[in-house]
Amino acid sequence: MNIKKKETLVWNGSHKGVDFEINNWNRNGSEHWCYYLILKLDRIPKENNPDSFWLNPGDMGYGGVLYKYYDHEVISDLDWHGGITWYEKKGGFDGTSKIIKIGCDYQHYTDEGRKYTLNDIKYDVEGSINRFLEYVPDYKYWCCGNGKLYDLKEGILKSDKFHSEEYYGDKEWYKKEKKFISRQRNISSILENSK
């Protein structure tokens, strides 16, 4: 039996309702970084054609599957570091929700000799998510209280967790937070209009 130990550090998180994963793994004594966006297709509104994100497989030869992610207008244009290099179907089988994992790596010719930090990668993750939300501005938010999907206007985002009005609306902290957010928007609007 041939077996090798592969150590990988994994960070999972969410930014503006979009889940992500960051990996740092060691190969022959050198660090390698990757990051992925985890997109749940049932959260993409119909007007953004969620089915188009579920790519048809092509034959890569040797029993492998090739997805032409570089041809998809949105998937290929999310400000990936060095371009998108990963597409994987994570759900959608046996009646489960369709989920894709798409991402990039930092093992390109231009990366040689360059050291990256977790903060560098987080910055790029935020950029890719912000770009995705330009294409899909009404990506649905998952309520951490009842597990249902909502538009952003149907609740509040606090510490990157969405709290729906339906579930939390009668809670005192929710009412205070909603008032605070409303005041902040009014101040921003006044400042913007005074320019």
What gap in Å lies between CA 180 and CA 172, rounded to an integer?
Answer: 13
What gap in Å lies between CA 84 and CA 32, rounded to an integer?
Answer: 16
With 80 as the cut, is the pLDDT of residue 162 above it?
A: yes
With 90 as the cut, is the pLDDT of residue 167 above it?
A: no
- CB-based burial, 67-97: b 16+ in 10 Å, e otherwise: bebeebebbebbebbeebbbbeeebeeeeee
Highest mean pLDDT among 21-30, 64-73, 81-90: 81-90
pLDDT for 25 equals: 87
pLDDT for 33 equals: 94
pLDDT for 172 equals: 86
Confidence of residue 3 (pLDDT cuts 50, 70, 90): confident
Q: 36-69 pLDDT, tens per residue?
A: 999 999 999 999 999 999 999 987 777 778 899 9
pLDDT for 146 equals: 92
Please give the average per-residue pLDDT across 121-129, as a whole number: 97
User: Which sign does the torsion angle of CA 170, 176, 177, 182 carry?
Assistant: positive
User: Of 87, 107, 109, which is closest to residue 98 (Cα–Cα)?
Assistant: 87
Q: Are the CB atoms for 41 and 97 separated by under 8 Å?
A: yes
pLDDT for 179 equals: 82
Q: Are the CB atoms for 142 and 154 separated by under 8 Å?
A: no
pLDDT for 133 equals: 96
